[in-house]
Structure 1
Amino acid sequence: MATISAKLVKELREKTGAGMMDCKKALQATDGDLDAAVDYLREKGISKAAKKADRIAAEGLVHVASKGNDAVIVEINSETDFVALNEDFQKLVQDIANHILEVKPEDIDALNKSEIDGQTVQDKITEAVSKIGEKLTLRRFVLAEKTDNGAFGEYLHMGGRIGVLSIVEGTTDTEVAKGVAMHAAALNPKYVSKDQVSEDELNHEREILKQQALNEGKPEKIVDKMVEGRMRKYLEEICIVNQPFVKDSEVTVEKYLQQHDSKLVDFVRFEVGEGLEKREENFADEVMGQVNK
């Protein structure tokens, strides 16, 4: 049996919200496999892990910009949330977003090597580090295109903690597209529609739901019907077009768009620091550490 560390138990607890002992048992039962332990807890009905947001760790800003038929969403990270309020940092993020629209780099490496204001983007960020006094990381970006008969939805929430770029075709009304972007910011869907969900993911979820139902003591003859009902609810939770629209819960996002003779092509949602590990420091101790230097 694998040795289960306290750190691994803590990580599972943060991902699932389950109790410490339940997490330890799940890890023991799965030989320390974190993903398998999440599934184990869900099958036992102990965890609602699929609905838990990933731990938000790093600080910084997300920015969305567009020009003509091109748009970009970009995330740049910093060490503390104070930097997000720094005007120099905000301008840096905006300048880099506009630069991406101009040069359309293939990836982060190409972006860092491209020139902006007579210097490489990497050198510009290094210069900003010296001025701002914190490590800055150009983490990710996504470029998008639309047709002349389309619209971009650009939405920033909490001053750039969450950013969404939606691409809608069939209308040039940016407010329609922005409504979808706001919805994605609020509900955090994973996909546009069921068509984007892999068979592996569907089968994986179906098996978990089946084990849930059996563990609840439901008669085996009705389990399959229950599972399909729960699968419909699961798809509603992860696919944006099936979700009740945040501005009008009487219609789905798909129906809302149909009312405007349009459809959602794609969307990108960035949340600052998602999936990154944050430094575990006490702010008061950090300040005192600086004072005592």
Structure 2
Amino acid sequence: MTLDISSTLVKELRQKTGAGMMNCKKALQETNGDFEGAVKTLRQKGLAAADKKVDRKTVEGVVNSYIHAGGKIGVLVEVNCETDFVARREEFQELVQNIAMQIAASPEVLYVNSEEIPEQVFLAEKAIEAEKDDLSNKPPEIKEKIILGRVEKTLKKLSLIDQAFIRDSNITIDELIKEKISLFGENIKVKRFTRYTLGNK
């Protein structure tokens, strides 16, 4: 017997995940009406579908601005997609605005992703960790693993897509973008951003 799912619950799930109505209904049926379980199912399916699109060219998109804290913080961000049709969609504009707000709220973030972080930053962080007293008595191979783990954690703080989304801490910006890739059927990439803080150069 197929579980009867209310249209209100389906609509709420669609608003939260951006997935299609039929996919939302199916996910709720598969999880016996468990809303959070359905969210997880849709995200897993969406991220898997999005992974197949990440190498496609993005030549359209928008540049957006966001001003925060009474004009003390400003952000310019460029987010690309594949077509002008998607770039003009309200959901895409909302995504770009959310990304701009995320940048404004994340003063440590300096790069779009960890691949952009220069090697000298990695080496400098590694040197700092290597000098910490709590590692002095560790065997070399254990010490190296601990150092690399700590450096990776530090560098993730500098990477935009690794941040927990300010409006839903259960997902990262990377997962948020992949959800929208699944929704639009197009690749989406944050190309670049600049944060301006009043009084800073």
What is the TM-score when the length of structure 2 is the normalising length?
A: 0.59
Q: Which residue of 2 aligns with 1:152?
A: 63
1:201-222: CA deviation from partner (whole Å, max 9, x where unpaired): 111111111112x455451332
> Does structure 1 retain, via aligned residues, the 8 Å contact 2:126–2:147?
yes
Q: Residue 273 of structure 1 aligns with which residue?
A: 199
Residue 180 of structure 2 corresponds to residue 260 of structure 1: yes
Letter in structure 1 aligned against 2:117? V
> How far apart are residue 223 of structure 1 and its match?
1.3
What is the aligned counterpart of 1:187 among 81, 96, 106? 106
How many Å apart are 1:257 and its aligned residue?
1.0
Q: Following the alignment from structure 1 to structure 2, what is the Cα–Cα distance between the partners of residues 162 and 207?
A: 32
Matched, 1:229 2:115: no
Q: Are 1:211 and 2:131 counterparts?
A: yes
1:180-214 CA distance string (max 9 Å, x none): 110011112111112221111111111111112x4
The 8 Å contact of residues 149 and 169 in structure 1, kept in 2 or not, is answered as yes
- How many residues end up aligned between the 2 structures? 128
Pairing 1:102-121 to 2, within 5 Å after superposition: none
Q: Deviations over 1:225-261 (max 9, x none)?
A: 1111112211210011111111111111111111112
Q: Which amino acid aligns with 1:245?
A: F
Where 2:95 maps in the other structure, the secondary structure is: helix
Contact 2:135 2:143 in 1 (8 A): no
- Assess if the C-alpha contact under 8 Å between 2:114 and 2:156 holds in 1: no
Superposed displacement of residue 179, structure 1: 0.4
8 Å Cα contact 1:152/1:174 also seen in 2: no
Indicate which of 148, 154, 168 corresponds to 2:79: 168
* Structure richer in strand, relative to its length: 1
Instruction: Give the letter aligned to residue 254 of structure 1.
Output: D
Structure 1 CA distance for aligned equivalents of residues 62 and 168 of structure 2: 21
Contact kept? 2:73, 2:197, Cα under 8 Å: yes
Indicate conservation of the 8 Å contact 1:157/1:163, yes or no: yes
Residue of structure 2 in register with 1:200 after alignment: 120
- In the aligned structure 2, how far is the partner of 1:152 from the partner of 1:255? 21
After TM superposition, which residue ranges in structure 1, 4 or more long, deviate above 6 angstroms?
Answer: none
**Deviation by residue 1:89-136 (Cα, 9 ceiling, x = unmatched):** xxxxxxxxxxxxxxxxxxxxxxxxxxxxxxxxxxxxxxxxxxxxxxxx
Q: Determine if contact 2:61/2:79 at 8 Å carries over to the other structure.
A: yes
Q: CA RMSD in A?
A: 1.9
Structure 1 equivalent of residue 167 of structure 2? 247
**Unaligned residue ranges in structure 1 (runs of 5+):** 1-146, 276-293
Q: Secondary structure at the match of 2:79?
A: strand
Kindly tell me: are residues 256 and 219 of structure 1, through their superposed partners in 2, closer, same or farther at Cα, counting changes over 3 Å? same
SS in 1 for 2:199: coil
Residue aligned with 1:268, SS: strand
Greater RCO (CA < 8 Å, at least 6 residues apart): 2
The answer as to whether partners of 1:254 and 1:263 remain within 8 angstroms in 2 is no
Query: TM-score, with normalisation over the residues of structure 1?
Result: 0.41
SS of equivalent residue, structure 2 residue 180? coil
3-state secondary structure, aligned to 1:238:
coil
> What is the CA–CA distance in structure 1 between the aligned matches of 2:174 and 2:135, rounded to whole Å?
34
Q: Which has the larger radius of gyration?
A: 1
- Partner Cα distance (1:218, 1:240) in 2: 35
CA distance in 1, matches of 2:94, 2:130: 42
**Compared CA separation, residues 148 and 230, structure 1 to 2 (3 A):** closer
CA contact (8 A) 1:153 1:175 kept: no
